[in-house]
Chain A
Amino acid sequence: MTTFKSLFEQYHWDSIQQKIQHVTAAEVQHSLSKRKRTIDDFLILISPAATPFLEEMAAMSKELTQKRFGRTIQMYVPMYLSNECQNICTYCGFSLDNKLKRKTLNDADILKEAEAIKQAGFEHVLLVTGEANYTVNINYFLNAISLLKAKFANISVEVQPLSTEEYQALHTAGVHAVLVYQETYHRQVYKQYHPKGKKSNFDFRLETPDRIGKAGIHKIGLGVLLGLEDWRTDSFFTALHLDYLQKKYWQSRYSVSFPRLRPAEGIIEPNFIMDDKDMLQLICAYRIWNEDLEVSVSTRENEKFRDNIIHLGATSMSAGSRTNPGGYSVAPESLEQFETSDERSAEEVAEKIRAAGYEPVWKDWDKIYTS
């Protein structure tokens, strides 16, 4: 099977980085005036040369998002099932070398957490784990999904990379979306941040979305951990990956997330700082390039940014999130993956969305389509 790897290897990090730095204002104006845009336009729109056009880009992003998604924001919430992990990722609270108490939810825990989440109004849930293949593997996931399927309209997962057959099993079990982040597309830097564990295999991770697409999963979510490397170059590769997948696995929908490195227990400081202005430029560039891409904004972002992004390009938002297993009811004090920034409750965030003239949508899927 040919995968994204063969396309990826035709590009060189340094030359893309150079190209982004050398974009001119005239190129930006031309890209903004086009009817149809390509990946080359995305490169232009994330460049420093596009920064002075941010107001114009925000207006376009707002209009395009409304046209495609209406005045709605899809609500979802993460449910952390486990913080066990065999990987060393130097930025993550769950890293193997962090000597803290580990927890994996059992059946009773999962049901209790589900109740707490349902109480808050959620119908779309994202299941998250570390990577502990002996205990938290496909059998564990299938069991968790069978427990949760009757309770939620839409189940997504963000777990370790799996095989095509395992993704097919998740699809059959009723999983709607699979999220997997490359963290960084810089091969050497990736190695430094992921020195140990299965995750240290860059290529296996790089080819994961191909396996998800091949399994027929309805939605595929991509992203990089912003702060590990130059966000512009990393985002170009993310867009290149999305572009490739969207053409090849054309029956799947795509979403992109923007995890900015947040403080966590025992982690290193980000190498590259990305400020709010950069983040807004990136989100607008994604929207202007790709009108139907779903844009997810998590509670890693602060209240002010989230309140303003509602009408500038976001299509889905989490709220009231806990990033530790059992965080909603079972074990509120267990180790968090990272500190959330927006700590408001789901209802408070929903109220903000309504105040912005948007409807928080709790349910926009039905199990019937994944049976």
Chain B
Amino acid sequence: MKPLVIGDKKFESRLFLGTGKFGSATHMEEAVLASGSELVTVALKRVDFAKDTDSLLSHLNHSHINLLPNTSGARNAKEAVFAAQLAREAMETNWLKLEIHPDPKYLLPDPIETLKATEELAKLGFIILPYMHADPVLCRRLEDAGTSAVMPLGAPIGSNKGLKTQDFLEIIIEQSRVPVIVDAGIGAPSHAALAMEMGADAVLVNTAIAVAGNPVLMAESFKEAVIAGRKAFESQLAGSVSIASASSPLTSFLYD
């Protein structure tokens, strides 16, 4: 399998994890380790920087795990940029999952504020991974603004509904010049496998693992599903190869 490159980092695993919603920090750590993930996102608002050993961060202290702070809680670009700067200082990383959802009900991303924040944060030298709608035009605008990846949603966050936006995700994958990470809505390993088969560069999963009866086993199954989906994509899944074909019954008369 080809490694995934985002910014200056190379990832063997194409499964990214969220760290919220787990029943305990220990369960979260066990699931993260079982998933093989090398990039996990942590809500800045959950981290207690005043404490020497924050319960979340101390459980993510493994050399292969990179932290991706997120701005969950920000309602506009201004708040997100503040939060990003705090995260960069406190967590010593310029990587950022940009989340701006002014709507606390479905936590849907604000495209206007997200674009604004991406423009500003790119100038400040951040590696930005913005959570966004599966909007191909917005993806291009974010690329122009200097994003390092795009994170379109498969379905409303936490809904476990799968790839409801599949047609738009396909367009994004086709057009994108930066890695495409399908975020939100992935509720089952089969959803993750489908995203990977379609050619997504990675997927981010949280609720489906955190809320599973056995989070560790579920993390393992997502790991395997992502590998299977990626291998299928790299081996040129039948159906994804639409032009070349060995026999040409319709046109062979030309060469008789």
Contacts and interface: CB of A to CB of B under 8 A. Distances in A.
B70 to A, nearest CB: 12
A369 B83 contact: yes
B17 to A, nearest CB: 13
A292 B24 CA distance: 21
Interface string A350-371: 0000100111011111101101
B20 interface: yes
A358 B23 CA distance: 4
Interface in A169-222: none
B158 to A, nearest CB: 6
Interface string A261-302: 000000000000000000000000000000010000000000
Interface stretch (B100-108, B130-138, B145-153, B216-224): B100-108
A369 B44 CA distance: 11
A250 interface: yes
Given A366-B44, A366-B73, A369-B73, A359 B82 contact: no
Interface stretch (B29-37, B45-53, B189-197, B246-254): B45-53
B45 A359 contact: no
A364 B23 contact: no
Contact of B46 (A68, A251, A361): A361
B81 to A, nearest CB: 10
Nearest to B74: A369
A70 B47 contact: no
A253 interface: yes
B165 interface: no
B237 interface: no
A71 B207 CA distance: 10
A70 B105 contact: no
Interface in B190-220: 207, 210-211
A365 B45 contact: yes
Nearest to A362: B48
Contacts of A292: 104-106
A359 B103 contact: no
Contacts of B43: 364
A66 B21 CA distance: 8
Best-surrounded residue of B21, B25, B48, B102 (most CB of chain A within 10 A): B21
A252 interface: yes
B127 to A, nearest CB: 20
A371 B78 CA distance: 10
B21 A69 contact: yes
A70 B45 contact: no
B102 A67 contact: no
Contacts of B47: 363
B79 A368 contact: yes
Interface in B56-111: 73-75, 79, 82-83, 86, 102-106
Contacts of A250: 102-103, 105
Contacts of B48: 123, 153, 362-363
Contact of A70 (B22, B82, B83): B22
A364 B158 contact: no
Interface residues of B, number: 30
Interface residues of A, number: 28
Contacts of A252: 104
Nearest to B46: A364
A67 B20 CA distance: 11
A251 B75 contact: yes
B113 to A, nearest CB: 12
A175 to B, nearest CB: 15
Interface string A282-325: 00000000001000000000000000000000000000000000
Nearest to A118: B50
B83 A366 contact: yes
B176 interface: no
Nearest to A366: B45
B82 to A, nearest CB: 5
For B23, B82, B211, the residue with the greatest tally of chain A CB atoms inside 10 Å of its CB is B23
B108 to A, nearest CB: 11
Contacts of A69: 21
Interface in A144-188: 153
B166 interface: no
A83 interface: no
Nearest to B160: A67
B191 to A, nearest CB: 15
A363 B46 contact: yes
A71 B45 contact: no
Nearest to B78: A371
A329 B21 CA distance: 34
A122 to B, nearest CB: 12
Contact of A368 (B46, B86, B160, B211): B86
A246 B45 contact: no
A69 to B, nearest CB: 7
B162 to A, nearest CB: 14
A233 interface: no
23 contacts: A70-B20, A70-B22, A70-B210, A71-B22, A71-B24, A72-B21, A72-B22, A246-B105, A250-B102, A250-B105, A251-B102, A251-B104, A292-B106, A358-B23, A359-B22, A363-B45, A363-B46, A364-B43, A364-B45, A366-B86, A368-B83, A368-B86, A369-B45
Q: Closest 6 interchain pairs by CB?
A: A70-B21, A71-B23, A253-B104, A366-B45, A357-B23, A363-B48
Given A70-B211, A368-B83, A369-B74, 19 more contacts: A66-B211, A67-B159, A67-B207, A70-B22, A70-B210, A71-B22, A71-B24, A71-B211, A123-B48, A153-B48, A250-B102, A251-B102, A251-B103, A292-B106, A357-B23, A359-B23, A368-B44, A368-B82, A369-B79
